[in-house]
């Protein structure tokens, strides 16, 4: 099993830069809670292949939220994974991974895919390759292929840090029982606070997809609602919870939830618009 300490990168954080608002968007599969359907401020984006068409109901779209800039470090290939590989080949692989990682961060997912596809085939046992390839496929909405690579990454490393993304692939594919299975594994694995919160949001999204918004609310309410120093994943959880309150008609709690976010970051997602719309209900 590969050592995670030797090979940390920030790639996964980029894929997990948003929380599900628990509403699918038209023209995209239900999953991709972190990437494709996160509300975000509009900004110029490179052209990407359109996501697959939805076959099921698709409530209203939402504006997109800006993604935070994340610094990409030079990939640290795990010595176990590259044991016996010539030094020159290791250097070439690290360079190609760095190039793909830079494309990924710049949202040039097609370019990253072009670089990673032959690497993923040649280096099937290199966890760093499978991880970044899986995350790239995820950002392109290729849920089945992404899930296979992220499953392989987990098998190679035993790591749980990409389980929320894997669960979101399953959610996109309508494999909701598997979402709940992943959530059960994740919550018993004692991961870091951001990872468990991301997993909680996806699991709640699956409950909402099943027509169980009250259960989704209870799951989110069990999360970190009052941290001393709120971070981005806290705001995403608050947003998802406030959105659900709005959907079930609990407008007072929805307003309080969006207002709490606005107190921390007034420009987060479309919070100002949501508060204005909820305010109109009082008139």
Please give the angle made by the CA atoms of 79, 80 and 84, to the nearest 5 degrees: 80
pLDDT range class, residue 16, cuts 50, 70, 90: low
Tens digit of pLDDT for each residue in 192-248?
Answer: 999 999 999 999 999 999 999 999 999 999 999 999 999 999 999 999 999 999 999
DSSP string, 76-127: ---TTTTTT--HHHHHHHHHHHHHHHHHHHTT-HHHHHHHHHHHHHH-TT-H
Phi, psi (5° rounding) for residue 213?
Answer: -65, -30
DSSP state of 106: T
Whether 202 contacts 214, CB under 8 Å: no
SS3 64: strand
Tens digit of pLDDT for each residue in 244-281?
Answer: 999 999 999 999 999 999 999 999 989 999 999 998 54
SS3 245: helix
Amino acid 84: pLDDT: 82
Give how far Cα 250 sits from Cα of 212, 214, 242, 243, Å: 15, 11, 9, 10
Tens digit of pLDDT for each residue in 70-103?
Answer: 334 545 777 777 788 898 998 899 899 999 999 9
Tens digit of pLDDT for each residue in 113-139?
Answer: 999 999 999 999 999 999 999 999 999
């Amino acid at each position: 099993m590969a050592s995670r300490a030797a090979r940390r990168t920030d790639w996964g954080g980029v894929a997990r830069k948003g929380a599900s608002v628990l509403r699918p968007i038209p023209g995209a599969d239900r999953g991709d809670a972190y990437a494709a359907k996160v509300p975000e401020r509009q900004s110029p984006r490179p052209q990407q292949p359109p996501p697959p068409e939805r076959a099921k109901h698709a409530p209203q779209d939402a504006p997109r939220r800006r993604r935070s800039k994340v610094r990409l470090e030079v990939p640290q290939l795990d010595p176990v994974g590259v044991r016996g590989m010539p030094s020159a080949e290791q250097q070439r692989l690290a360079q190609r991974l760095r190039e793909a990682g830079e494309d990924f961060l710049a949202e040039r997912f097609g370019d990253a895919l072009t670089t990673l596809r032959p690497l993923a085939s040649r280096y099937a046992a290199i966890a760093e390759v499978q991880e970044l390839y899986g995350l790239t496929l995820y950002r392109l909405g290729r849920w089945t292929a992404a899930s296979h690579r992220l499953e392989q990454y987990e098998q190679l490393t035993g790591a749980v840090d990409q389980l929320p993304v894997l669960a979101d692939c399953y959610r996109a594919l309508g494999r909701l029982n598997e979402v709940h299975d992943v959530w059960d594994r994740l919550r018993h694995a004692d991961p870091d606070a951001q990872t468990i919160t991301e997993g909680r949001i996806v699991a709640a999204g699956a409950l909402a997809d099943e027509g169980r918004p009250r259960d989704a609310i209870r799951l989110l309410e069990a999360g970190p609602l009052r941290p001393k120093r709120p971070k981005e994943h806290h705001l995403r959880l608050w947003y998802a919870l406030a959105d659900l309150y709005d959907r079930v008609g609990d407008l007072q709690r929805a307003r309080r939830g969006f207002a709490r976010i606005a107190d921390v970051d007034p420009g987060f997602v479309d919070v100002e618009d949501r508060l204005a719309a909820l305010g109109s209900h009082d008139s």
